[in-house]
């Protein structure tokens, strides 16, 4: 588990390392987060995606337990950002991709993203989500840039696909904590972010 300057605790792990239990049993464990969360995770039609989502929430539950914070009801904004109902002092973010999941908890709004490290990116994609200056700074390490964008977007729940070039990842508005982690034999980029002006 890692700790950030602004009191963020975060962790990433391969899904098969997180309570490899039947989905029905996992959903029973997630009942502490309330009905909205159960509806959210069971809405995934793809079984693998659904199971990975469940494992990400189990990782969050594990982090909360380790930090001594009680799991409470999760609800969603209109944009789909999850948050703890009736808790203005506890924030979280989760991320899942094929082969790995991540979670973060904090005393201020936080975003986390995990992605498999990619060495090949389509030029059309990088041009759409990165400014020219970001392309210059990050050069071929576009997975790092993508994770920063996703983590920063998750702080507010605005989403990365609306106006990705407007999400500033080069200024000092956000504090980023980054790492490369191994999961299921693959390298993953893990990024957590908080805004300096949000306490």
- pLDDT tens-digit profile of 2-14? 444 445 676 677 6
> HSE (CB half, 13 Å, CA atoms) of 12?
27
The phi and psi torsions of 196 (rounded to 5 degrees) equal: -65, -35
Count of domains forming the chain: 1
d(CA 17, CA 39): 24
pLDDT tens-digit series, residues 131-149: 999 999 998 799 999 999 9
- Of 80-89, 104-113, 139-148, 151-160, give the lowest mean pLDDT range: 151-160
pLDDT at 41 over 80: yes
pLDDT class for 115, splitting at 50, 70, 90?
Answer: very high
pLDDT at 40 over 90: yes
pLDDT at 199 over 50: no
pLDDT class for 17, splitting at 50, 70, 90?
Answer: low
Instruction: Dig out the tokens for 56 from the structure.
Output: 């990400």
What was the pLDDT predicted at 195?
81
pLDDT class for 159, splitting at 50, 70, 90?
Answer: low
164-173 core/surface letters (b: 16 or more CB in 10 A; e: else): beebebeeee
Chain CA centroid to CA 37, Å: 16
The phi and psi torsions of 77 (rounded to 5 degrees) equal: -75, 175
| Mean per-residue pLDDT over the chain, rounded | 85
Q: How far is CA 80 from CA 74, 75, 76, 169, in A?
A: 11, 9, 5, 22
Dihedral over Cα of 191, 192, 197, 198: its sign: positive
Domain of 11: which CATH number?
3.90.470.20
Which of 108, 106, 94 has the alpha carbon at shortest distance from 190? 94
97 lies in which domain range?
Answer: 2-195
The H-or-E segment that residue 95 falls in is strand 91-97
């Amino acid at each position: 588990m890692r700790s950030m300057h602004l009191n963020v605790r975060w962790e990433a792990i391969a899904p098969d390392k997180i309570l490899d239990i039947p989905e029905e049993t996992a959903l029973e464990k997630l009942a502490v987060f309330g009905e909205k969360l159960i509806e959210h995770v069971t809405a995934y039609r793809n079984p693998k995606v659904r199971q990975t989502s469940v494992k990400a929430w189990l990782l969050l539950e594990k982090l909360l337990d380790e930090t001594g914070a009680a799991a409470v009801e999760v609800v969603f904004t209109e944009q789909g950002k999850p948050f703890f109902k009736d808790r203005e002092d506890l924030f979280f973010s989760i991320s899942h991709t094929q082969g790995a999941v991540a979670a973060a908890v904090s005393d201020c709004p936080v975003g986390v993203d995990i992605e498999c490290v990619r060495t090949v990116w389509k030029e059309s994609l990088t041009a759409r989500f990165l400014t020219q200056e970001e392309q210059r700074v990050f050069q071929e390490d576009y997975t790092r840039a993508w994770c920063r964008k996703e983590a920063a977007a998750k702080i507010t729940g605005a989403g990365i696909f609306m106006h990705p070039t407007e999400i500033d990842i080069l200024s000092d508005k956000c504090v980023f904590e980054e790492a490369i982690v191994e999961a299921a034999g693959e390298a993953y980029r893990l990024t957590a972010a908080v805004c300096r002006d949000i306490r």
